[in-house]
């Protein structure tokens, strides 16, 4: 363990240590980000870190059964971790991940306006929750992923397998490079999705006002059996010729049928739905 204050070796920390617990108190009343404690831990060890006030945590290049981090106003940066369980919770700070996180279960949670930004996630279960902060994920290969926000925006790139999304009050959803099963529920907000393949029974529901724009490459071969319900519906000509609008229905209803085990349901009673083909296999 090495302690630094303003970039220099320091004795401004009060240290209490037992066989399994290390407690640090910074006695510097004008502490800042230059007051740092660097700790090296053995391989394959459970690590639990809890900070108070504005103290932040950086955890990187570790492998062990479990990593648990909790902060109050401090930010958390974790990178290149491999574990059975990873759990991070911030009251006011942001969470950012770098490199690859690989675990059976990963749970990230922030409160207030704090956001969560992830790079590469590999997990059996991936759970992300914010209050009003944004959620951004660059790549996620998870068997089951669940993203929840009260009123934050969500951006998800290169998302795979089974995904549940809940926007409880208001927020926009932006998804690219999706392949798998999606269940998205928004009280209010807009949805943009670029999907290469939709499996099982996928659905997007906007309960109040919003817009859904769905782009698919090679739409005739990739689009599953589809039901659309909205105030206004625009469908790519290739699908329009093969599907049908329900006569005199309000809101409008469009149905595209095919022999497939997969289905897509989009409901936006007080908004619009656009279903279009794209020649882009993915969007950067």
pLDDT at residue 211, as a whole number: 98
DSSP, collapsed to helix, strand or coil, labels residue 221 as helix
Predicted pLDDT at 247? 75
The distance between the two most distant Cα atoms of the chain, rounded to a whole number of Å, is 79
In a 3-state reduction of DSSP, which class is residue 128? strand
Q: Measuring CA to CA, how many Å separate 239 from each of 4, 225, 269? A: 64, 11, 21
Query: CA-CA distance, 77 to 223, in Å (whole number)?
Result: 39
Would you state the structure tokens that stand for residue 149, as one six-digit string? 């926000």
What is the separation of C-alpha 231 from the centre of its chain, rounded to a whole number of angstroms? 29
Which residue(s) pair with 97 in the sheet? 78
pLDDT at 18: 80
The pLDDT assigned to 5 comes to: 62
Q: What end-to-end distance do the CA atoms of the chain give, in Å? A: 42
Where are the chain's structural domains? 1-40, 46-277
Contact 143, 180 (CB under 8 A): no
Joined tokens for residue 250:
């309000």
**Residue 82: what pLDDT?**
97
CA angle 122, 278, 237 (to 5 degrees): 135
Task: Note the pLDDT of residue 246.
Answer: 86
pLDDT on residue 7: 55
Separation between Cα atoms, residue 268 and residue 205, nearest integer Å: 6
173: Cβ contacts below 8 Å, ≥ 6 apart? 153, 154, 156, 165, 167, 184, 186, 189, 190, 191, 192, 193
What is the three-class DSSP state of 240?
A: helix
Based on the number of CB atoms within 10 Å of its own CB, is 14 exposed (0-12), middle (13-18) or buried (19 or more)? exposed
Task: List Cβ neighbours of 141 (8 Å cut-off, separation of 6 or more).
Answer: 121, 122, 123, 160, 161
| Residuewise pLDDT in 10s, the chain (284 residues) | 676 665 555 556 777 888 778 887 777 666 566 678 888 888 888 999 999 998 999 999 999 999 999 999 999 999 999 999 999 999 999 999 999 999 999 999 999 999 999 999 999 999 999 999 999 999 999 899 999 999 999 999 999 999 999 999 999 999 999 999 999 999 999 999 999 999 999 999 999 999 999 999 999 999 999 999 999 999 999 999 999 998 777 899 999 999 888 999 999 999 999 999 998 766 65
Phi/psi at 131 (nearest 5 deg)?
-90, -70
The 10 Å CB-count burial string (b at 16+, else e) for 75-97 is: bbbbbbbebebbbbbbebbbbbb
pLDDT for res 30: 62
pTM equals: 0.92
Say which residues have a Cβ less than 8 Å from residue 284's Cβ, sequence separation at least 6.
Answer: none
């Amino acid at each position: 363990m090495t302690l630094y204050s303003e970039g220099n070796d320091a004795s401004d920390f009060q240290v209490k240590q037992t066989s399994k617990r290390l407690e640090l108190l910074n006695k510097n009343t004008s502490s800042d980000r230059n007051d740092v404690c660097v700790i090296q831990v053995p391989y394959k060890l459970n690590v639990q870190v809890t900070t108070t006030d504005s103290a932040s945590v950086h955890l990187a290049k570790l492998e062990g059964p479990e990593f648990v981090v909790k902060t109050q106003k401090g930010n958390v940066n974790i990178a290149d971790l491999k574990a059975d369980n990873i759990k991070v919770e911030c009251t006011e700070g942001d969470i950012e991940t770098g490199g690859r996180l690989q675990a059976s279960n990963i749970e990230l949670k922030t409160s207030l306006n704090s956001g969560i930004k992830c790079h590469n996630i590999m997990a059996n279960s991936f759970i992300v929750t914010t209050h009003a902060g944004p959620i951004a994920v660059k790549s996620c290969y998870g068997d089951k992923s669940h993203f929840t926000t009260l009123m934050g925006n969500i951006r998800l790139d290169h998302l795979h397998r089974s995904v549940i999304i809940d926007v409880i009050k208001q927020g926009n959803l932006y998804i690219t490079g999706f392949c798998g099963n999606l269940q998205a529920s928004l009280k209010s907000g807009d949805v943009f999705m670029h999907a290469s393949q939709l499996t099982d029974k996928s659905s997007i529901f906007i309960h109040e006002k919003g817009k859904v724009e769905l782009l698919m490459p090679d739409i005739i071969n990739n689009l599953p059996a589809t039901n659309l319900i909205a105030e206004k519906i625009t469908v790519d000509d290739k699908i329009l010729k093969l599907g049908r609008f329900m006569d005199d229905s309000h809101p409008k209803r469009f149905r595209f049928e095919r022999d497939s085990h997969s289905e897509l349901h989009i409901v936006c009673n007080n908004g619009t739905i656009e279903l279009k083909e794209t020649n882009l296999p993915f969007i950067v």
